[in-house]
Chain A
Amino acid sequence: MLDSFIFVVMPYAALALMIFVTPYRYFSNRLTWTAYSTQFLERDKLFWGSVPWHFGILLVLLGHFAGVVCPHGMARLLANQQMLVLLESIGLAAGLLALLGSVMLLLRRINDGTLKRVTFCSDWVLLYLLIMQAATGIYIATFMRWGSVWYLHTAVPYFYSLLSFKPELGYVADFPLIFKLHSAGAFLILALLPFTKLVHLLFWPLAFLRDPPILYRWRSQRGNSRDF
């Protein structure tokens, strides 16, 4: 029952919310499409929170995605024992960075008075959720060794079964509770994404890398302007 909820209901609910709510928010009110930076009000602690958090979590996410996008390549790569140890160490280190960063971010919100006015319920929910996610991830990496390998033969085929709309719980049903918590947390974060400031991670500055430095908008030229 719990398994069906976590591994069938939650992923599809999260996916549905992502697909339908995100564009709705994008087209209905983009004025809220920002990460709501608070660096302006408090910067010293933010540095020790935001930087480790973001770089840590980016590396960890990259590892998770690599397994899904290219399972065979990863399997071949990880067949080399030294590579396996190296990648697992990097992953664990990145996870620890993310955990330390997110705890720092939480302590910062708790202790800094000037941030009270810009801290909303969603900020607390996200912070606790992300800390829990990082902590369970580190627990799994530490006490359920070689996750990068077994991930390829359990979670990855499960993801593919999800994508083909024939979810097979057999791949993941026998894992201990901590793994299920980690999965549930991931789906919950995805489900909350379109409702919170997490939407900021859907925008990547790619045009910026290509464009000439100075951007013009001409009202008089067709296709080159929005109505403003």
Chain B
Amino acid sequence: MNVRAQLVMVFNLDKCIGCHACSISCKNIWTDRKGAEYMWWNNVETKPGVGYPKNWENQDRFKGGWRRDDGKLKLRALGKGPTLLNMFFQPNMPKLDDYYEPFDFDYSNLYKAPPGSDQPVAEAISQISGKRMEEIKNGPNWDDDLSGSQIYAVQDVNLEDSTLVADYGRMFMQYLPRICNHCLNPACVASCPSRAIYKRGEDGVVLVDQEVCKGWRFCTSACPYKKVYFNWQSGKAEKCIFCFPRTESGQCNACAHSCVGRIRHVGVLLYDADRVEAALLKEDDQLVAAHRDVILDPHDPQVREAARKNGVSDQWLEAADKSPVYALVKEFAVALPLHPEFRTMPMAYYIPSLSPVISSGGDLHTLADHGTFPLLETMRAPISFLASLLSGGNQEIIAEVLRKQIALRLFKRAENLGQSIESSILKNAGLDEAGANKLYRLFTIAPYRERFIVPTQQREVQNPEERKGSSGFGILKKTRRAK
């Protein structure tokens, strides 16, 4: 048993209102710079939709992630030999148009324009060429709220029946906020010929060493989530850093902090690094179970002993003990990995959405029969869609999670109204009363310190004699050529 600790984020999709507050706070802190204008380390997509960059889930086109080959994991796109042969041109890399050409507006025209018969407008200016843009053709959330669904939503690879998009009686919509998943088996790390991308041993955050990166862009292609970006100004790769300057001091990430719907949870998971590869060799529909199997119980004394041996501090063990993420991912098993079939073992987990709860007007009476919530079978979002997104196609896993959420709602509703419900409702869903109350608290009223349990990095105990005077504030180097 090789126990390691990982900082993990859980997203409760049932509560996401698609306000983009997370994207904006991330942008303002990290990517409001030249060369990074088009990057959204955190973005929110509407599902069904093509996302950002367009069609990122389509690995026939982008060839991201891993595949199984003769009982071994191999990068889907390029092995080591082909990497050397493709050094000079990236065959699978998305281009600017797949993201969007970043733009600003010429607001000064609003007051500088000469008198004329038309109202002056603020024209769009490209943030790359600096020239006026005739037409804005794309954006980071271009198909937000199903806009242009006939063009975009129909292309969603998770949609079994794309005619659904044209049928307003059956159409549904959910939001999907995405950051870098800080995977346990990151394809970006494996693909980097410069060896610039690494996974931090202590907290599992995946980072690009800007000094080592040579700008070969294999990571950009290899990441199946398209969460490594190429800075066109500095000529190097950049990605979500899990706000490590914040998490190291015990604060949660900026995106999670600013979340209006309070949909995010951050905490520690302990996992067995020796079992990761074997888990990823399972069939697609077995992958969620394999994920859960790799995650270890922080209360188990054997696990704690092995963790201590690997240098996991008591403070981190305590955080793992109380981790809201462990509760959601393993204990209640309601949070699922995004596209586990990409086989990177992503460490961001999603609780599938239950809504919209009323499928259409006429159904209201039928709903009332079983307590205001629809039966699993009559849910508006097809289970096959959620399964394609979150469980490698395993519909039973999605059904289990949704059943728990429905049972929880029925239970709390009855409690609020002073009614009694059959105890079998909770039991059939795999919950008990104490568990339901804990889950309810996490889903609803849990305050900051319960949603985010982020232990500090404790640099003070790591070779202090070497560390003293070695870091702090200094002169910032130029990151690019001056023009």
Which residues does A use to contact B, with CB under 8 Å? 29-41, 43, 46-47, 50-51, 53-55, 113-114, 116-118, 120, 197, 200, 203, 205, 207-209, 211, 213-222, 226-228
Choose from A30, A220, A226 the contact partner of B201 (Cβ within 8 Å).
A220
Q: Please, which residues of chain A bring their CB within 8 A of the CB of B197?
A: 215
Task: Find out whether the CB atom of A214 lies under 8 angstroms from the CB atom of B190.
Answer: yes
A114 to B195, CA, bound (A): 30
A163 to B192, CA, bound (A): 36
Distance between B226 CB and nearest chain A CB, rounded to angstroms = 13
Contact pattern, B 64-84, Cβ under 8 Å of A = 1, otherwise 0: 000000000000000010011
Contact pattern, B 173-200, Cβ under 8 Å of A = 1, otherwise 0: 0000000000001100110111101111
Q: Please, which residues of chain B bring their CB within 8 A of the CB of A228?
A: 209
Instruction: Using known A-B contacts A34-B234, A217-B200, determine if residue A208 contacts B80 with beta carbons closer than 8 Å.
Output: yes
Q: Please, which residues of chain B bring their CB within 8 A of the CB of A50?
A: 88-89
Task: Find out whether the CB atom of B190 lies under 8 angstroms from the CB atom of A51.
Answer: no
A46 closest partner in B (C-beta): B89
The 6 closest A-B pairs by CB, nearest first: A205-B193, A218-B201, A213-B190, A34-B215, A34-B235, A36-B235
> Could you show 23 A-B contacts with beta carbons less than 8 Å apart?
A29-B478, A30-B212, A31-B236, A36-B235, A37-B235, A39-B90, A40-B96, A40-B232, A54-B88, A113-B131, A117-B129, A197-B235, A205-B83, A205-B195, A207-B195, A208-B192, A213-B190, A217-B201, A218-B202, A219-B202, A219-B459, A220-B311, A227-B470
Instruction: Using known A-B contacts A208-B195, A216-B201, determine if residue A34 contacts B214 with beta carbons closer than 8 Å.
Output: yes
A55 to B477, CA, bound (A): 34
Q: Please, which residues of chain A bring their CB within 8 A of the CB of B477?
A: 29, 31
Task: Find out whether the CB atom of B199 lies under 8 angstroms from the CB atom of A215.
Answer: yes
Task: Find out whether the CB atom of A203 lies under 8 angstroms from the CB atom of B478.
Answer: no
Task: Find out whether the CB atom of B214 lies under 8 angstroms from the CB atom of A113.
Answer: no
A217 closest partner in B (C-beta): B198
Known contacts A53-B88, A120-B481; 4 further A-B pairs (Cβ under 8 A): A34-B213, A35-B216, A39-B90, A220-B202
Instruction: Using known A-B contacts A50-B89, A203-B194, determine if residue A220 contacts B462 with beta carbons closer than 8 Å.
Output: yes
Q: Please, which residues of chain A bring their CB within 8 A of the CB of B131?
A: 113
B4 closest partner in A (C-beta): A216
Distance between A43 CB and nearest chain B CB, rounded to angstroms = 5
Q: Please, which residues of chain A bring their CB within 8 A of the CB of B84?
A: 205
Distance between B77 CB and nearest chain A CB, rounded to angstroms = 13
Task: Find out whether the CB atom of A37 lies under 8 angstroms from the CB atom of B202.
Answer: no
Task: Find out whether the CB atom of A200 lies under 8 angstroms from the CB atom of B214.
Answer: yes
Q: Please, which residues of chain A bring their CB within 8 A of the CB of B462?
A: 219-220
Most B Cβ at <10 Å: residue of A53, A120, A197, A219: A219
Q: Please, which residues of chain A bring their CB within 8 A of the CB of B96?
A: 40-41, 114
Distance between A44 CB and nearest chain B CB, rounded to angstroms = 9
Q: Please, which residues of chain B bring their CB within 8 A of the CB of A116?
A: 129
Distance between B482 CB and nearest chain A CB, rounded to angstroms = 9
Q: Please, which residues of chain A bring their CB within 8 A of the CB of B80?
A: 208-209
Task: Find out whether the CB atom of B189 lies under 8 angstroms from the CB atom of A215.
Answer: yes
Q: Please, which residues of chain B bring their CB within 8 A of the CB of A46?
A: 89
Task: Find out whether the CB atom of A221 lies under 8 angstroms from the CB atom of B201.
Answer: yes
Q: Please, which residues of chain B bring their CB within 8 A of the CB of A113?
A: 129, 131
A207 to B194, CA, bound (A): 8
Task: Find out whether the CB atom of B198 lies under 8 angstroms from the CB atom of A37.
Answer: no
Choose from A37, A39, A211, A219 the contact partner of B195 (Cβ within 8 Å).
A211
A113 closest partner in B (C-beta): B129
Choose from A39, A117, A207, A209 the contact partner of B130 (Cβ within 8 Å).
A117
Task: Find out whether the CB atom of B88 lies under 8 angstroms from the CB atom of A55.
Answer: yes
Task: Find out whether the CB atom of B88 lies under 8 angstroms from the CB atom of A219.
Answer: no
Q: Please, which residues of chain A bring their CB within 8 A of the CB of B234?
A: 31, 34
Q: Please, which residues of chain A bring their CB within 8 A of the CB of B200?
A: 216-219
Interface: B246 (CB within 8 A):
no
Q: Please, which residues of chain B bring their CB within 8 A of the CB of A211?
A: 195
Distance between A144 CB and nearest chain B CB, rounded to angstroms = 30
Task: Find out whether the CB atom of A31 lies under 8 angstroms from the CB atom of B212.
Answer: no
A51 to B195, CA, bound (A): 23
A226 to B193, CA, bound (A): 19
Choose from B89, B93, B467 the contact partner of A227 (Cβ within 8 Å).
B467
Question: Within residues 441 to 483 of chain B, which ones have a CB less than 8 A from any CB in chain A?
Answer: 457, 459, 462-463, 466-467, 470-471, 477-481, 483
Task: Find out whether the CB atom of B236 lies under 8 angstroms from the CB atom of A43.
Answer: no
A41 to B93, CA, bound (A): 11
A207 closest partner in B (C-beta): B195
A36 to B201, CA, bound (A): 30
Q: Please, which residues of chain B bring their CB within 8 A of the CB of A218?
A: 200-202, 311
Interface: B217 (CB within 8 A):
yes
A215 to B463, CA, bound (A): 22
Distance between B463 CB and nearest chain A CB, rounded to angstroms = 7
Most A Cβ at <10 Å: residue of B202, B232, B479: B232
Instruction: Using known A-B contacts A118-B232, A215-B198, determine if residue A33 contacts B88 with beta carbons closer than 8 Å.
Output: no
Q: Please, which residues of chain B bring their CB within 8 A of the CB of A33?
A: 211, 214
Task: Find out whether the CB atom of B478 lies under 8 angstroms from the CB atom of A39.
Answer: no
B483 closest partner in A (C-beta): A120
A209 to B190, CA, bound (A): 11
Choose from A51, A203, A216, A226 the contact partner of B214 (Cβ within 8 Å).
A203
A197 to B233, CA, bound (A): 13
A135 to B311, CA, bound (A): 60
B196 closest partner in A (C-beta): A215
Instruction: Using known A-B contacts A30-B211, A208-B80, A217-B200, determine if residue A40 contacts B130 with beta carbons closer than 8 Å.
Output: no
